[in-house]
Structure 1
Amino acid sequence: MTVIPLRIAVLKETAPGETRVALTPETAKKFIGLGAAVAVESGAGVSASIPDAAYAEAGAEVRSSAEVVKGADIVMGVQAPDVAALSGANPGAWVAATFDPFGQRDRVDAYASAGLEALSMEFMPRITRAQSMDVLSSQSNLAGYKAVIAAADAYGRAFPMMMTAAGTIQAARVFVMGVGVAGLQAIATARRLGAQVSATDVRSATKEQISSLGAKPIFVESVAGIEGEGAGGYASEMSDEYKAAQAELVSSHIAKQDIVITTALIPGRAAPRLVSDAQIATMKPGSVIYDLAVAQGGNVEGSVADQVTEKHGVKIIGYSNTPATLPADASALFARNLFNFLSAFWDKEAGRPVLDEEIGDAIRLTRGGQVVSERLKGG
């Protein structure tokens, strides 16, 4: 009896500005080693500096989009493809990708109607055994790094203190708002560049993390924040009293800063407003703000997705897909996250992954023609 191997398909990303790809030759070879057949659309890796020949050398089929999807059991993507692009996939095929489930609910419903099983990589639980599968963390690491590099480029002055025969240049002052994965990497990068760094967060547990990286914690002391971590490792919406105290603290601190990096996000909600126009007006001309939350509405008043704006002589940068500006590394990490996820549940006898309840129920959006995610039901 001939056993038909599980078929994994990867399409070229079609979202505007998306340069990443969900499969690399490295992970293609590993999937094939598990016994899967791997097919990738021609040109899928070009923007990430991966030619078709590299996939073919790894053992993957390189075909047209229709040929790649035909008979697919699992489709992997960075951003979930439109349902129309998945015509020909097997009934009940898995699609493992980022879905923006709250912002693109219509797409989730379309997946349910098509009988596809949508697996949202954003919903990966932040538990120890899932760390290597967490695409948000891997991509946020790169985003935090690139935010500082882009801000430094736009700043027009040196970051480190420089003592020269002509005089001393003072170190740039960098303020990081929101100390999750992106914020911590931003702190570390700014410190490596020689800046004087401070940071703030609503979670009191981050004070020690900030200090450990050689930065100065700036925290509201008069009103209680979140003790320890928020839900899933993310911050939660704070009280009006805390917001007022934080705004006062930020106003007194931000006027002295040269670079501000904002990273605060709340899952399923618009990004919290951290920096007002009035606060921007207190900053020195030539200062730079990088708003990493611009795609969710922005932390900064006046930030515009994918544009560099200027207010009161301050440049405000906000790219909706910062990891895509580092396509080769971002693709390599994303692809490893997907391989780590699927391989962790690989059943050798079945020849395919079999998800457990803890992770499967957390990331599964649709199944059997229905929206099954508890986080989306009724939404």
Structure 2
Amino acid sequence: MKTISKMSLILLTVCSITACNANNKKQKETFALNEIAKTGTHKTNKQYVKVALLLDTSNSMDGLIDQAKAQLWEIVNELSYAKCNEKKPNLLIALYEYGNARLNANDGYVRQVLAFSSDLDEISKQLFSLTTNGGDEYCGYVINTALDQLEWDDNPDDLKFIFIAGNEPFTQGKINYKDAAKRAHNKDITVNTIFCGNYAQGLSSFWKDGADLAHGDYMAIDHNQETVHISTPYDDIILKENKKLNETYVAYGKIGREKMNLQAEQDTNAEAYSSANAVSRTVSKSSHLYKNAIWDLVDASKETSFDYKNIDKSKLPEVLRSKSEMEIKTYISQKKAQRETIQNKIQTLNTKRMAFILEANKGQTNNLEQAMIKAIKTQGEKKNYHWK
């Protein structure tokens, strides 16, 4: 549990590439707005990139958690550009913490924080809720737990990753890491390991071996390197567009009100961390990965089987309750057009922003964000993913 990497692994968030050799069969998505308001769930029959993030939250991992908050949105943004056969990927992220003394020893000091989810606001919320405390880090145990608990499915077109980060020997715990890694490989799940410390130390403590057994990448990051937030001339404009973007959401039912509050809460969390982080989050909100069909009528209206006749007017915002079906449809269409215009503007501004940051970052190496993206792109290319 030594001092850990400020470059912490955020996540890998890594995720966002969607199985490229996906079959071309299109299966209808079922969408019943009235049921969504009751359950808050939305299931589709598509191929996914599934990423499980396993984060060490022992005392030494404050830097790791800090960096996860700092780099989440930038990594999501980079991966949102992934394409396979000119199709954009879907993304599911799961989050685990391990090595925290507050967790149950009988469960190997492991806790599922979040099952597979495409809700980026919820993922952000759970990241910001993590705290550290001394404990024992059992890498084999947490990998095995993620294999057992998560719905990986056996679709060969899905791209499946585990990213585990920490700085104690990979060999600890009653579950042999070799058995866990081999199980993952047999399930077509790639295990990538991130050692927070010296590269050679990670080798000697078997972090690379754990990745090799599951055909993943081993990475070591400089624990003294902190995230550098670079201000650009485009930041203030993007943040102003975020306020306009939020005004295009049309909440439906109780879950809609709750999710709208969560959206605002995560905007605040990002801004409290840094202005650059708030900008990165805004860019994420302008991408195809930020989808809220379970509570927002604008996103819901894009679903194949959405029908305005299914809307319960009592669950609409006050401004729409007395409107006719045609008036509601017109209102939603206008919000949709406004959102697309705003999102396109943010994406255009971000292209200029990223060029500015790239120039300012020249010469930087051993950056976790760069290491993670490189690993994902390399592995994605094996299934014909590209970022052009």
Bigger Rg over Cα: 1
TM-score by length of 2: 0.26
Higher RCO (Cα < 8 Å, 6 or more apart) = 2
Larger strand proportion of the pair: 1
